[in-house]
Amino acid sequence: MIPAAIVFCYLAVVLYIGIFAFRRRAASGAEEYFLAGRSLGPAVFLLSLFGTNMTAFTILGSAGHAFANGIVTFALMASSSAFIIPLTLLFAGTRMWSLGKRYGFMTPAQMFRDRWECAHIGTAIFAVQAALLVPYIIIGVMGGGTALRGITGGFVPYWLGGAIVAVVVMSYVFFGGMRGTAWVNAFQTVLFLSFGAVALIVIGRGMGGFPAAMESLLSSPSTAPLLTRERISPWYFFSYTFIPLSTIAFPHIAIFCLTARRMVQFKRTVIFYPLCILAIWLPCVFLGVAANSLRDVPRIEQKLEARAALAALPPLASPDERAALRRQASGDDVVLVMLERFASFWLAGLLGAGIMAAVMASDSQILALSTMFTEDVFAFYGGTARFGENVQVQTGRIFVVVLTLIAYLIALRAPQGIFDIAVQFAFSGYAALSPLLFAALFWQRSTKWGALAVTLWVAFAVIYTWRVPGALAWYGLLPVVPMTLISCVLMAVVSLMTPPPSTQTIRRYF
């Protein structure tokens, strides 16, 4: 119970930071609650922007994927992200900040409506964006349940761990808004960036040194491929260069770009973002790979046996049997198992708090959806004008509660791992939506009909690839590649075939 007690103390600190930040700035209003008054300083902006993009997917999902696929996980996700994400923040993020400051935008859909002179098409864009962001919130709940179950050795069951994290996140988002969320994210980012180095040293010593662990993997024909890229084809590797395009298209990242006090803050963010990625991704991936050498740890051995049984299943095996084996073989909790095995109780608790810090980064997604609902639906269709700004903020808070409850209920029945859900829904869908943002910001000739075509295509493609496994996986590529390329073609062709916005609107943007 010592690690559990430390983690619960950490959750109490997080609640205090989030709620205290709201009380410190009692000035009410939609812009204060949803955007922190567009006044976040450089340190908080950098740490919170990075932290909001590093969720349970980063620590638990990356280690689980590396446990099953090897060291190539780092190359797939972290290498391209370290290059593409800072560039998109530099070119698209700064332009969004400038337009938001000038015209008062609080959500991407507001900008799309104004840029393309559209009303209900903007609502369609909001609906698709909201639907694609819900899986990311589900990942946070799943990560919370997995982390607390692992930290407490099963004393806190998965359903209760997910509920605790959901309630804590919902509470400080409800009371603290963007300012409270940003301060919590800044605190959590410092914590989980420190986690990687400490966990690597502690677990490495407990295993007798990572060189010995790597030699053990190399000596076995079944695990040696984990230290190479031979399982990954060049086309599959190329597919992952499209996934970082999703970051700037995420509504919570776009909205966070609007909170900076000055544009110069983006400069430091672009410089330090790749270093932060290196600091968190490399240890997590390395630990996930090294876990394959721990055959003497019963929970690891059970996962390896389930993986072997899954690979040996006949093609006609029942989906339920396949899903059960996939859950048993999941490596989302291998870092927690390693901490339990090699760290002292006190250190395991502190490092467990670092894991929880990354897991709870779903707060920004919840707040982003609340902001989008109140601005793009409630306010746009006359709610604010009729009932006032205070009712708008209260509506956003109610939406936070409802959304968190829905995400929790879905997380209890989610059959896939954290990494798979993130790639299939959130990353692929938003990468395919990124042409919307780039066209709005940089192409004068783009039109609302091109935007509608892209939106409908992405909605269809995500549902199709979900219902038909392997769909759009052409020539060994991930579906994200044809989805994004077809979005670009649709935006270009349909825009050229339809009338552009008025000259007055184009002059305001260009």
Q: Tell me which of 179-193, 266-280, 347-361, 473-487 is least confident.
A: 347-361
> 356 and 169 in contact (C-beta within 8 Å)?
no
Is it the case that residue 489 has pLDDT exceeding 70?
yes
Residues 6+ apart with CB under 8 A from 367: 34, 173, 177, 178, 181, 252, 400
> 171 and 11 in contact (C-beta within 8 Å)?
no
What's the CATH class of domain 2-22+68-509? Answer: mainly alpha
Total-model pTM: 0.85
Is it the case that residue 438 has pLDDT exceeding 90?
yes
* Assigned token pair, 153: 């050795």
CA distance 22 to 174: 10
Q: 79-124, pLDDT tens digit by residue?
A: 888 999 999 999 999 999 999 999 999 999 999 999 999 988 999 9
How many angstroms separate the first and last alpha carbons of the chain?
60
pLDDT above 90 covers what percent of the chain?
A: 24
CA distance 223 to 86: 34
Is it the case that residue 3 has pLDDT exceeding 80?
no
What confidence score (pLDDT) does residue 26 get? 46
Of 36, 209, 35, nearest to 110 by C-alpha is 35
Q: 358-400, pLDDT tens digit by residue?
A: 667 667 888 888 889 998 989 888 888 888 878 888 888 888 8
Burial 447-473 (b: 16+ CB within 10 A, else e): bbbbbbbbbebbbebbeebeeeeeebb
Averaged pLDDT, 322-343: 82
Write the burial class of residue 168 (CB in 10 Å: 0-12 exposed, 13-18 middle, 19+ buried).
buried
Is it the case that residue 348 has pLDDT exceeding 70?
yes
Question: How many degrees, rounded to 5, is the angle at CA 369 between CA 363 and CA 370?
Answer: 90
> 252 and 104 in contact (C-beta within 8 Å)?
no
